[in-house]
Chains A and B, each alone.
Chain A
């Protein structure tokens, strides 16, 4: 096999894996949008907040330390313990469930029946609120997530594939963290699909997504389902936050990954879980391949805009995305 072709394959694989990371964020959007018609702009910030909380709990940080210190004149910052990763993840899940409850109780319960644009604006407000809350609770310094996730290229894969090409080819370089993310995403999506297809609460979730009145008439509490959905989205945000946080550190720019999820949603459709995955893969792969093939001709940096141009094309020719429900206006 030619070296050139092998490089192309490597770019392709890396693109797919980068796409998985986008999918993780897009998933959270789809969950909430399907069940409540709310386009949750704060999904990216939820990922940031979850990652901040996880890092903070693990390091034994005192939440709201700055406020406490300035009120009581104390100087505490750490509890002085380290919480094991598994326990910290469980605690963070509880924090995200609490967040889901609060969002429902204090924001969306009062906005039932409002225009989509108003719900959307509320989520923008929520995004900024949550960003500020994360800052106040855990501080604004960059944190590392010491979860023990593998980093760097996979040596065994490099060694195993080095022989495929000529002397210039040193084997596929694939980030181990990306591999872990792929496996985690696959497990997560499978679990979500099984949950929504085959369990009572999953069925209730789909029922609410479909028709509110009918759902009420069979005894489903909309409020409960919305809290459940926001909790699930919070959990997905935590997974995304862990993966992105492990990759580039837990910093506030993490919330911007939401912007990369938008083109993914345009492609996959706002209402389809498989769509979020496939959309992410296409965007990730497309952007890496485009950069590799076309990038050198136009001076590079195509990754910054490729996804959005692709999304724009989809908006023009297939506005419901690849898997979204078809938009038919009956007259």
Chain B
């Protein structure tokens, strides 16, 4: 069988499973501009998959295709073994694909706790009427989900700010709250759009640790976009490299580092 799809165990003992998400020949156009040109790659269960590339390479567009914010003109998206029909973003979220945004999209007027609770919305099944009169099942459900959220809060070490309105938090903490909200959904696939953009070294280290811990502890599959090459090489199991909407490399970090096309496009052509 194909080495790209067989389950295996990594050196540090994490289990990488079969293909969770398979992007096949995706093409995305904005008017006449091709943001993504015929790209195929997959994401395997339990792995940390990085998408890298220079500015304007189409990385964020790719993430938006996965999360349903953009609809590709061509290609198929396969999720958990079957083709995913064109969907609205909220429907994709209900499949268990959570995401964060490059420019932080939090509910600024709501408390940290309430923000993270919105991540649990899809796990709460009681109807509008039961909600409105707030009894029995609805109350029990609220308590259960609240307990889950508290675990996420503990995990990401944000207990101290749980009642604070998000609008008052500094940038680094906002990023962490956004991760918490995505994580609260118990996602099958977690998409992180530049989780470390604009952070200082210390914040980057914290965030890297959290990403590794999330993957390690919950076995969450993570696909992330990142600019910091050092971070990408440390974190990810496999890397997709994009340039001008094309895929120019796909493999383990060590394979990517030695890929001449990647070096030329992304790291700059070496001066002899």
Which residues of the other chain, A, contact B182 by a CB distance below 8 angstroms? 217
Q: Check B90–A203 contact: CB distance below 8 A.
A: no
Which residues of the other chain, A, contact B90 by a CB distance below 8 angstroms? 215-216, 219-222
Which residues of the other chain, B, contact A211 by a CB distance below 8 angstroms? 105-108
Contacts A194-B134, A217-B99 given; indicate if A203 touches B106 (C-beta within 8 A): no
Which residues of the other chain, B, contact A218 by a CB distance below 8 angstroms? 93, 98, 118-119, 121-122, 181, 185
CB contacts under 8 Å to A, within B72-107, are: 88-91, 93-94, 98-99, 101, 105-107
Contacts A214-B107, A217-B67, A218-B118 given; indicate if A199 touches B134 (C-beta within 8 A): yes
Q: Check B88–A221 contact: CB distance below 8 A.
A: yes
Can you list, as one digit per residue, whether each of A204-220 has a CB less than 8 Å from chain B (1) or not (0)? 10110111011111111
Of B90, B108, B124, chain A has the most CB atoms within 10 Å of the CB of B90
Q: Check A200–B124 contact: CB distance below 8 A.
A: yes
Could you tell me the distance between the alpha carbons of A211 and B101 in the complex, rounded to whole angstroms? 12
Is B232 close to A, CB under 8 A?
no
Tell me, rounded to whole Å, the shortest Cβ–Cβ distance linking A116 to chain B. Answer: 19
Is A4 close to B, CB under 8 A?
no
Number of interface residues of A (CB under 8 A): 26
Which residues of the other chain, B, contact A202 by a CB distance below 8 angstroms? 131
Is A159 close to B, CB under 8 A?
no
Please, which residue of chain A has its CB at the minimum distance from the CB of B99? A217
Tell me, rounded to whole Å, the shortest Cβ–Cβ distance linking A323 to chain B. Answer: 13
B118 CB contact (under 8 Å) in A203, A222, A228: A203
Could you tell me the distance between the alpha carbons of A153 and B200 in the complex, rounded to whole angstroms? 69
Could you tell me the distance between the alpha carbons of A1 and B118 in the complex, rounded to whole angstroms? 56
Could you tell me the distance between the alpha carbons of A222 and B88 in the complex, rounded to whole angstroms? 10
Could you tell me the distance between the alpha carbons of A52 and B263 in the complex, rounded to whole angstroms? 73
B109 CB contact (under 8 Å) in A199, A203, A325: A325
Which residues of the other chain, B, contact A207 by a CB distance below 8 angstroms? 107, 110, 118
Tell me, rounded to whole Å, the shortest Cβ–Cβ distance linking B36 to chain A. Answer: 20
Is B128 close to A, CB under 8 A?
yes
Which residues of the other chain, A, contact B131 by a CB distance below 8 angstroms? 195, 199-202
A203 CB contact (under 8 Å) in B101, B114, B185: B114
Which residues of the other chain, A, contact B134 by a CB distance below 8 angstroms? 194, 198-199
B105 CB contact (under 8 Å) in A206, A213, A219: A213
A201 CB contact (under 8 Å) in B99, B107, B128: B128
Of B90, B118, B119, B121, chain A has the most CB atoms within 10 Å of the CB of B118
Could you tell me the distance between the alpha carbons of A220 and B105 in the complex, rounded to whole angstroms? 14
Please, which residue of chain A has its CB at the minimum distance from the CB of B106? A214
Can you list, as one digit per residue, whether each of B213-227 has a CB less than 8 Å from chain A (1) or not (0)? 000000000000000
Could you tell me the distance between the alpha carbons of A198 and B135 in the complex, rounded to whole angstroms? 12
CB contacts under 8 Å to A, within B129-164, are: 131-132, 134, 138, 141-142
Q: Check A219–B69 contact: CB distance below 8 A.
A: no
Which residues of the other chain, B, contact A216 by a CB distance below 8 angstroms? 69, 88-90, 93
Q: Check B132–A210 contact: CB distance below 8 A.
A: no
Please, which residue of chain B has its CB at the minimum distance from the CB of A219? B93
Is B126 close to A, CB under 8 A?
yes
Which residues of the other chain, A, contact B108 by a CB distance below 8 angstroms? 210-211
Which residues of the other chain, A, contact B109 by a CB distance below 8 angstroms? 206, 209-210, 325
Could you tell me the distance between the alpha carbons of A207 and B118 in the complex, rounded to whole angstroms? 8
Q: Check B132–A203 contact: CB distance below 8 A.
A: no
Please, which residue of chain B has its CB at the minimum distance from the CB of A224? B90
Is B112 close to A, CB under 8 A?
no
Is B117 close to A, CB under 8 A?
yes
Q: Check B105–A203 contact: CB distance below 8 A.
A: no
Tell me, rounded to whole Å, the shortest Cβ–Cβ distance linking A223 to chain B. Answer: 9
Please, which residue of chain B has its CB at the minimum distance from the CB of A271? B109
Tell me, rounded to whole Å, the shortest Cβ–Cβ distance linking B43 to chain A. Answer: 18
Could you tell me the distance between the alpha carbons of A134 and B47 in the complex, rounded to whole angstroms? 60
Tell me, rounded to whole Å, the shortest Cβ–Cβ distance linking A276 to chain B. Answer: 17
Contacts A195-B132, A211-B106, A213-B101 given; indicate if A220 touches B118 (C-beta within 8 A): yes
Which residues of the other chain, B, contact A221 by a CB distance below 8 angstroms? 88, 90
Tell me, rounded to whole Å, the shortest Cβ–Cβ distance linking A231 to chain B. Answer: 10
Could you tell me the distance between the alpha carbons of A215 and B124 in the complex, rounded to whole angstroms? 15
Which residues of the other chain, A, contact B185 by a CB distance below 8 angstroms? 218-219
Tell me, rounded to whole Å, the shortest Cβ–Cβ distance linking A186 to chain B. Answer: 18
Tell me, rounded to whole Å, the shortest Cβ–Cβ distance linking B204 to chain A. Answer: 23
Of A194, A199, A215, chain B has the most CB atoms within 10 Å of the CB of A199
Given contacts A209-B109, A220-B121, 12 further A-B contacts (CB under 8 A): A199-B138, A199-B142, A203-B114, A203-B118, A207-B110, A211-B107, A216-B88, A216-B93, A218-B119, A218-B121, A218-B181, A221-B90
Which residues of A approach B to under 8 Å, CB–CB?
A: 194-195, 198-204, 206-207, 209-211, 213-222, 228, 325
12 contacts between A and B (CB under 8 A): A198-B142, A200-B126, A200-B131, A201-B132, A203-B117, A203-B118, A206-B110, A213-B105, A214-B105, A215-B90, A216-B88, A325-B109
| Top 10 closest pairs, chain A to chain B, by CB | A219-B93, A214-B105, A210-B107, A216-B89, A199-B131, A219-B122, A219-B94, A200-B124, A213-B105, A218-B118
Which residues of B approach A to under 8 Å, CB–CB?
A: 67, 69, 88-91, 93-94, 98-99, 101, 105-110, 114, 117-119, 121-122, 124, 126, 128, 131-132, 134, 138, 141-142, 181-182, 185
